[in-house]
């Protein structure tokens, strides 16, 4: 490296000191709350006891992994986690894209702002509130849905106690709560599309649908692939609060997932070693899925790393 290059680098560093300072807090956040807790994964290989601590607890190797995979319930929990998460990704993933495209086509600013506000609002409700709303709406005795069914001469239907209906409500609640907020990233990508592309398409005689399919969606491909890779990393991750507030004993055979298992076995019964082993296995599978998705994305030249 020449002296002029070293001088240029020093100047660039000095000019970007405010940016480095702004990056410091997020960096500390991830170090303290993401990377340091990873050291606790060693509990998965120990017979952890509070009194003895992590370092003092007996090393048992792979015994905890053998224990969880020897149980039939474990395989069922992993299956439920994978199925629910995969359905969530496949069903929910297109909605923010469609929503962003529709919002982008709105020309009345006041109506666009009103629609965005209404669609973003559910994201800021906790799942406890959303769960309460869902239980009230689909209640057998006092729910408005069953009230309409009865008024039309039908019989009340136990939506939340039927596995198929429960799964549909679970997926639908996630779409209603998060699609509006998740559309923000696509709206940002849409704002960066060069308007001359649309002008050229109009000159070629393209109608609105053709402009969307031939210009808008292809320009969104890098963003879509990026968000898909990130979503793939969460295929083995089902939010505890979302499942817990909607779960009931009747549908527990399809709704018992890794996060609820960790709560029931780890927090309530104190089997920290077993649940840490389950969580570590879950994290490894998620990492492999991200690597696989990124490798597939490389074929289109839009890999994340």
Q: Is residue 305 part of a domain?
A: no
On whether both 40 and 127 belong to a single domain, the answer is: no
Q: Is residue 259 part of a domain?
A: yes
The yes-or-no verdict on residue 126 having pLDDT over 70 is yes
The yes-or-no verdict on residue 298 having pLDDT over 80 is no
pTM value is 0.81
**Structural domain harbouring 179:** 63-298
Q: 160-164, 194-198, 244-248, 290-294: lowest mean pLDDT where?
A: 290-294
The yes-or-no verdict on residue 120 having pLDDT over 70 is yes
**Mean pLDDT of all residues in 7-25:** 85
Measured distance CA(235)–CA(87) in Å, rounded: 9
What are the backbone dihedrals phi and psi of residue 47, each rounded to the nearest 5 degrees, phi first?
Answer: -90, 85
Q: pLDDT at position 300, please?
A: 65
Last residue of a domain, one of 10, 27, 61: 61
301 band by pLDDT with thresholds 50, 70 and 90? low
Contact yes or no for 228/293 (Cβ under 8 A): yes
pLDDT, mean over the chain = 86
Q: Is residue 119 part of a domain?
A: yes
Q: pLDDT at position 172, please?
A: 92
| Bridge partners, 46 (sequence order) | 59
Q: pLDDT at position 96, please?
A: 93
Q: pLDDT at position 95, please?
A: 93
Q: What total of structural domains would you count in the chain?
A: 2
pLDDT tens sequence across 151-200: 888 888 899 899 899 999 999 999 999 898 899 999 999 988 888 998 89
Q: pLDDT at position 260, please?
A: 86
Q: Is residue 303 part of a domain?
A: no
Q: pLDDT at position 7, please?
A: 80
Q: pLDDT at position 37, please?
A: 85
Q: Residue 36 has what DSSP assignment?
A: G
**Percent of the chain with pLDDT strictly greater than 90:** 17
Last residue of a domain, one of 44, 61, 78: 61
What are the backbone dihedrals phi and psi of residue 51, each rounded to the nearest 5 degrees, phi first?
Answer: -65, -40
The yes-or-no verdict on residue 247 having pLDDT over 80 is yes
Cα separation values, 152 from 145, 156, 159, 161, 256, Å: 11, 11, 17, 22, 35
On whether both 135 and 147 belong to a single domain, the answer is: yes
């Amino acid at each position: 490296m020449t002296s002029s290059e070293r001088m240029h680098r020093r100047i660039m560093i000095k000019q970007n000191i405010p940016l480095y300072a702004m990056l410091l807090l997020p960096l500390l956040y991830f170090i303290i709350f993401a990377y340091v807790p990873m050291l606790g994964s060693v509990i998965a290989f120990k017979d952890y006891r509070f009194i003895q601590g992590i370092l003092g607890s007996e090393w048992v190797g792979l015994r905890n992994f053998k224990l969880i995979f020897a149980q039939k319930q474990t395989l069922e929990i992993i299956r439920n986690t994978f199925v629910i998460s995969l359905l969530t990704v496949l069903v929910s993933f297109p909605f923010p894209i469609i929503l962003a495209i529709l919002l982008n086509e709105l020309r009345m600013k006041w109506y666009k702002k009103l629609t965005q506000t209404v669609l973003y609002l559910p994201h800021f409700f906790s799942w406890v509130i959303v769960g309460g709303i869902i239980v009230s709406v689909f209640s057998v005795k006092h729910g408005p849905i069953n009230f309409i069914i009865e008024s039309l001469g039908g019989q009340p239907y136990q939506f939340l106690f039927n596995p198929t209906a429960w799964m549909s409500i679970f997926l639908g609640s996630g779409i209603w709560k998060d699609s509006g907020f998740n559309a923000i990233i696509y709206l940002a990508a849409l704002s960066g599309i060069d308007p001359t592309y649309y002008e050229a398409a109009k000159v070629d005689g393209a109608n609105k649908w053709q402009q969307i399919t031939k210009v808008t969606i292809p320009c969104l491909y890098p963003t879509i692939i990026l968000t898909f890779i990130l979503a793939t990393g969460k295929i083995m991750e089902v939010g505890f609060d979302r499942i817990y507030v909607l779960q009931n004993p009747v549908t527990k055979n399809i709704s018992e997932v890794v996060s609820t298992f960790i709560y029931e076995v780890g927090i309530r019964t104190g089997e920290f070693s077993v649940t840490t082993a389950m969580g570590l296995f879950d994290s490894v599978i998620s990492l492999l899925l991200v690597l696989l998705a990124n490798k597939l994305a490389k074929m289109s030249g839009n890999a994340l790393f």
